[in-house]
Amino acid sequence: MKKLTIDLADRSYDILIGRNFLPRLGDHCSHLKSVHRALIVTNPVINQLYGKIVTEGLRSAGMNIECVEIPEGETHKTLQDAQIVYDHLIENQYDRNTLLVALGGGVIGDMAGFIAATFLRGVPFIQVPTTLLSQVDSSVGGKTAVNHPKGKNLIGAFYQPRLVAIDLDTLGSLPPEEFRAGMAEIIKYGIIEDPELFTFLEKNAEKILAQDTQCLASIIETSCAIKAKVVEQDERESNYRMILNFGHTLGHAVEALTHYARFKHGEAIAIGMVYAARLSAHLGKCSEAVVLRIKSLVERYGLPSQLPDFSAKEYIESMYRDKKAHDKNIRFILVKDIGSVEIVDRVAEADIQKVLAS
């Protein structure tokens, strides 16, 4: 078992990375002394797979445990669906000494975190991420949210969990396309911060795609360490944390234009990363060799690299609508070299358009 600590003063917490420790999860909750009741928030698919193990695992902490399900999928990441959990909490008279347990991928993690941030003005929660994407990205760093019909993650809060428990064994049941989507975020960490991670991904693609335990543990730990380092320095994304949005400017537009139905988040980010690299080369920030390495790695992991067929106007309008658009400017994270990026607050529309058309 590996343990990383994310240092955020009184909001610090551990990230545990190991195998088959969910059956003893309660042993790692001894710091949550005042908690006497826990509510597992999950969906029917994940409940069927891991609900019982986590329930049994938490009993050693002496908690009274119940479980509530939200219907499966991104379309249920809404306030209406969150209401199912608020209703359960209120009808069953849960108080502030309640622990919420987010058991699932990023959808469940973001929602359970948001509910924890808002129920009774805040109760503790822990993340038990079960997708690769949630293990390396969404469970760490305290961004919580639900979607609004006008856009993704528009209603949310920064609210840190009290523990992130990453059990690699949960990846065994993950559909391969979900595994690949998680790989996009790991590639992103290599590009923004860690050339050695990027090279490791290049050299070990076969083993990683076969889910070799040692390789997986290593890249998940490195990814979480990078995310922890970034969040420690800029918890509320005033500047530096924006580097985590590499590939997201165009990626979000791809998701929005395809109505969140055609691409998984990680797949859209893969397309966005290749575009951001091409834009960087066009602006003289990096060499064509860097673009080629990024595109090749994305494709090696079975991720898409080509832009879906929308006009430059449609892409640009969608990028202006995104919540990450800045004072009516389109902000890009541009790559200078593998492991080094730059936040550029305003990229000229003409340049964006030229690269979209090329």
**Residue 178 interacts with ligand GLY (CB under 6 A): yes or no:** no
The dihedral of CA 132, 137, 138, 141: what is its sign? Answer: positive
Q: By CB under 6 A, what part of segment 162-191 binds ligand NAD? A: 170, 173-174, 178, 181
Interface pick for ligand GLY out of 143, 162, 264, 293 (rule CB under 6 A): 143
Q: By CB under 6 A, what part of segment 182-241 binds ligand GLY? A: 237, 241
CA distances from 36 to 32, 65, 69 (A): 9, 9, 21
Nearer to ligand GLY, 137 or 194 (CB): 137
C-beta separation of 136 from 185 below 8 A: yes
Binds 241: which of ligand GLY, ligand NAD, none (CB < 5-8 Å by kind) = ligand GLY
Binds 297: which of ligand NAD, ligand GLY, none (CB < 5-8 Å by kind) = none
E strands, 143-280, are 143-148, 151-158, 163-167
Active site residues: 121, 143, 185, 227, 237, 241, 245, 248, 252, 265
Query: What element of type H or E holds 205?
Result: helix 205-209
**Residue 334 interacts with ligand NAD (CB under 6 A): yes or no:** no
What the block records as the tokens of 349 is: 């529309």
**Residue 153 interacts with ligand NAD (CB under 6 A): yes or no:** yes
Binding residue count for ligand GLY, defined by CB under 6 A: 6
**Residue 72 interacts with ligand NAD (CB under 6 A): yes or no:** yes
Rounded CA-CA distance 199/217 in Å is: 16
Residue 37 pairs with which residues in a beta bridge? Answer: 64, 98
Binds 104: which of ligand GLY, ligand NAD, none (CB < 5-8 Å by kind) = ligand NAD
C-beta separation of 157 from 237 below 8 A: no
CA 155 to chain centre: 16
- Contact residues for ligand NAD (CB under 6 A)? 43, 45-46, 49, 72, 74, 77, 104-108, 110, 130-131, 133-134, 137-138, 141, 143, 152-153, 170, 173-174, 178, 181, 265
